[in-house]
């Protein structure tokens, strides 16, 4: 890989020779993701950073799932499971692929408010794409500056209101009973800016038993007290009642009928209900030309009730926690940053010092998913209590990061110390089900260092390295193999990462970003058993992830544009370990060989777009191509989801009629009607690995905005 890096750098040095002059049309957005508290250009950071603007997020798309747009970002795998009870599968350079639900291995933020719990478990259901200004995506070593669970960082920013007052409404309809309705009001009154949004999404679902309904509200209000002081308030909520879960399919079921529900889904009426409210307050103040600070506070609650397909006989022992999970989580936290902007060696130096504290309290209860016996037995309803505990989670982090820049060089360094504490009080002590209370403490220090050589106005070469860590989440601790209680024997996983990259403006409105990377992890957290929606975990030995990613985008001719994002990723186990076979399994006996592929991670990802715009007509057309390499479904690599290539077409119109702006669009996905698995459930113990993707399907919508 070192030879490849030298060759790539040499090629870019040669390419930029024809673009020595300042490139005026190239987009170089300011971002905050790489360094908390320090805004800097993505082009000048020693890290892989991509920005997706709000127009792209909504242009000819449903605007509900992150997977719609994250395909444009190399290094990120975002797979739509067609199962809204389990959320989108997102991984960054192979981190987070093992998550059976939610998002793992990444830090997520909405307007600076964490969407990730202190244990590293994230949710994206409350991300409001209809009011978003942009999404920033960071991969690589610098994500360690954000603490626990840092394979990458995804930050969504709601657009500020104003200067005009705009009222907007839109609707979209598509295949499988898909409906989306949205409304938004934004504007500015004096020193106040506001952006309020509401979205309702419904679908009958691709598969049997996969209907969903989601109602979301998002609000952002900013008070500009002075040129030096700003106060922001962020509010959002999401309600998803009785979202049906079709479960995964075995290979035989998938080949026979990919639109059917998995075994047990109908019998037990598998489903999930989620209700979440969250609020955040952000104060930014500049004391003088040198000193400034930022204070962020947040609070929220999330209630989840999930009905699983656990067989009645399996729940017979008193030590089994049942087939209904009832979670009531309450969380709050604060982050304080102090930034100093000065000079060192006659060049600018900016340093941010910060502390962050986060706390979550969880009431976790389990119930049987049936009532009665014999002919009077009813499945898929809440039965007898089988688990009752209070879990507490606290984190406390301290961090410092700085950037020093000269005419030719920039140096970025950071250090973060994190402490995460888990505690559980068991309130269900019955017969053989004893007291399973316990606690665990994890801590780590994660340094990062990066350097940029500004070879010219149009070419930056950089190198970065860092160390990251990942604690088990409460969901990963929740079940112990062979018995009840939390699995406090799990250890944190530690990674060492490096990255070599280049960012080049090859010509006006064309930019190329490329990076080589490698990450070695010890004590990787892997699945031990996975059956009936319930997983237990263990620490394996070493893993290695290495790869290459590149993104090219630009404009040509009269209205033409193109974008390309490509990823090659090799993610393998670097030491052997044993795991469980088919259930029931109480002790691991199946060997996972050194060199096996880590499941859930495609070896190749490709996104390409070719678009044409005719501004006088307000017309835009585009063709999109997405390729996903084959994906191992389990640690033993006995089966794979096949590689797939799909084509999508879209067209949109825009009319300005006085104060009205009207947009219409139509979209057709999977034009060739390819049959494939869109995602997999990693290490599913009953072999129900496959989650089908839709065949050819359409979407059409209209949006109207009035400017007062």
What's the rounded Cα separation, in Å, for the pair 577 and 590?
8
Name the residue among 263, 227, 269, 237 with its Cα closest to residue 248: 263
pLDDT at 433: 87
Q: How far apart are CA 246 and CA 263, in angstroms?
A: 9
Of 96 and 353, the one with more pLDDT? 353
Q: Rounded to the nearest 10 degrees, how much is the dihedral formed by the CA atoms of 373, 376, 380, 381?
A: -90
Q: What is the mean pLDDT of residues 606-613?
A: 97
Dihedral (C-alpha) 487, 492, 493, 495: value to the nearest 10 degrees? 170
Is the pTM value of this prediction over 0.85?
yes
User: How far is residue 636 from each of residues 100, 306, 600, 624, measured CA to CA in Å?
Assistant: 17, 29, 12, 34
- pLDDT of 24 reads 42
Residues near 549 by Cβ (< 8 Å), separated by ≥ 6? 48, 74, 75, 139, 514, 515, 517, 565, 566, 567, 568
pLDDT in tens, 483-526: 667 888 899 999 999 999 999 998 888 999 999 999 999 999 88
pLDDT at 120: 86
Among the residue ranges 155-169, 432-446, 468-482, 551-565, the one predicted with the least confidence is 468-482
pLDDT digits (tens, 9 = 90+) for 660-696: 999 999 999 999 999 999 999 988 888 999 999 999 9
Structure confidence at residue 249 (pLDDT): 96
Question: For residue 526, what pLDDT is reported?
Answer: 87
pLDDT at 10: 41
What structural domains does the chain harbor?
Answer: 2-707 (2.40.170.20)
Q: Binning pLDDT at 50, 70 and 90, where does residue 14 land? A: very low
Please give the mean pLDDT across all residues of the chain: 91
Q: DSSP per residue over 38-67, as a string?
A: --EEGGGSSSEEEEEEHHHHHTTS-SS-TH
The Cα–Cα gap between 601 and 98 comes to 9
Q: What is the pLDDT of residues 172-213, one digit of tens each?
A: 999 999 999 999 999 999 999 999 999 999 999 999 999 999
Q: Report in angstroms the alpha-carbon separations of 437 from 297, 343, 423.
A: 31, 53, 8
Least confident piece of the model among 26-35, 72-81, 122-131, 445-454:
26-35
What pLDDT is attached to residue 36? 67
Query: Which of 264-268, 345-349, 431-435, 474-478 has the lowest average pLDDT?
Result: 474-478
pLDDT at 148: 87
**Res 39: pLDDT:** 73
């Amino acid at each position: 890989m070192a030879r490849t890096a030298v060759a790539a750098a040499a090629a870019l040095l040669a390419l930029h020779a024809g673009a020595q002059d300042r490139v005026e049309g190239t987009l170089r957005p300011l971002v905050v993701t790489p360094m908390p508290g320090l805004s800097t250009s993505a082009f000048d950071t020693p890290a892989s950073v991509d920005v997706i603007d709000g127009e792209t997020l909504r242009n000819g798309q449903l605007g509900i799932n992150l997977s719609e747009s994250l395909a444009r970002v190399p290094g990120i795998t975002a797979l739509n499971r067609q199962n809204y009870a389990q959320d989108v599968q997102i991984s960054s350079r192979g981190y987070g692929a093992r998550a059976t639900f939610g998002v793992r291995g990444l830090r997520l933020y909405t307007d600076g408010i964490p969407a990730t719990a202190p244990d590293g478990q994230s949710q994206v259901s409350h991300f409001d794409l209809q009011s978003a200004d942009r999404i920033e995506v960071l991969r690589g070593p610098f994500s360690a500056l954000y603490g626990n669970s840092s394979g990458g960082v995804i930050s969504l920013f709601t657009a500020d209101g104003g200067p005009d007052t705009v009222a907007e409404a839109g609707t979209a309809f598509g295949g499988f009973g898909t409906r989306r309705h949205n409304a938004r009001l934004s504007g500015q009154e004096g020193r106040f800016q506001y952006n309020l949004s509401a979205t309702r999404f419904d679908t009958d679902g691709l598969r049997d038993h996969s209907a969903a309904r989601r109602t979301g509200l998002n609000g952002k209000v900013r008070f500009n007290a002075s040129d030096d002081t700003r106060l922001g308030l962020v509010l959002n909520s999401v309600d998803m009642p009785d979202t049906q879960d079709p479960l995964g399919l075995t290979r035989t079921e998938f080949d026979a009928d990919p639109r059917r529900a998995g075994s047990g889904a109908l019998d037990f009426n598998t489903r999930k209900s989620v209700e979440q409210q969250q609020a955040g307050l952000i104060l930014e103040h500049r004391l003088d030309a040198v000193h400034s600070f930022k204070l962020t506070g947040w609070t929220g609650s999330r209630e989840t009730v999930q009905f699983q397909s656990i067989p009645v006989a399996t729940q017979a022992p008193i030590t089994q926690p049942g087939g209904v999970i009832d979670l009531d989580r309450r969380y709050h936290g604060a982050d304080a940053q102090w930034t100093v902007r000065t000079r060192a060696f006659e060049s600018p130096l900016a340093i941010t010092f910060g502390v962050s504290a986060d706390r979550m309290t969880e009431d976790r209860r389990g119930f049987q998913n049936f009532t009665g016996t014999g002919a009077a037995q009813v499945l898929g309803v809440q039965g007898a209590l089988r688990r009752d505990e209070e879990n507490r989670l606290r984190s406390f982090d301290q961090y410092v990061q700085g950037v020093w820049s000269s005419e030719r060089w920039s140096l970025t360094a950071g250090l973060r110390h994190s402490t995460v504490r888990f505690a559980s009080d068991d309130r269900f002590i019955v017969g053989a089900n004893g007291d399973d209370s316990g606690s665990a403490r994890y801590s780590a220090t994660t340094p990062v260092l990066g350097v940029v050589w500004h070879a010219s106005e149009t070419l930056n070469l950089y190198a970065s390295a860092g160390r990251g860590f990942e604690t088990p989440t409460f969901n990963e601790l929740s079940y112990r193999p062979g018995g009840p209680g939390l699995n406090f024997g799990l250890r944190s996983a530690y990674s060492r990462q490096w990255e070599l990259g280049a960012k080049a403006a090859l010509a006006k409105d064309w930019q190329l970003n490329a990076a080589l990377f490698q990450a070695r992890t010890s004590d990787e957290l892997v699945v031990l058993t996975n059956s009936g929606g319930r997983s237990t975990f263990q620490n394996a030995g070493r893993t290695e992830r290495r790869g290459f990613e590149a993104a090219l985008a630009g404009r040509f001719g009269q209205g033409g544009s193109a974008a390309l994002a490509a990823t090659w990723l090799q993610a393998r186990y670097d030491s052997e370990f044993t795991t469980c076979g088919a259930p029931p399994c109480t002790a691991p006996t199946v060997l996972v060989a050194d060199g096996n592929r880590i499941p859930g991670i495609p070896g190749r990802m490709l996104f390409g777009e070719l678009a044409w715009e005719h501004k006088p007509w307000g017309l835009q057309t585009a063709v999109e191509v997405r390729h996903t390499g084959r994906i191992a479904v389990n640690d033993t690599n006995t089966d794979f989801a096949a590689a797939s290539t799909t084509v999508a077409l879209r067209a949109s119109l825009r009319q300005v009629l006085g104060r009205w702006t009207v947009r219409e669009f139509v979209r057709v996905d999977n034009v060739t009607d390819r049959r494939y698995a869109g995602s997999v459930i990693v290490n599913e113990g009953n072999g129900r690995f496959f989650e089908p993707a839709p065949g050819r399907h359409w979407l059409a919508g209209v949006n109207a905005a009035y400017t007062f």
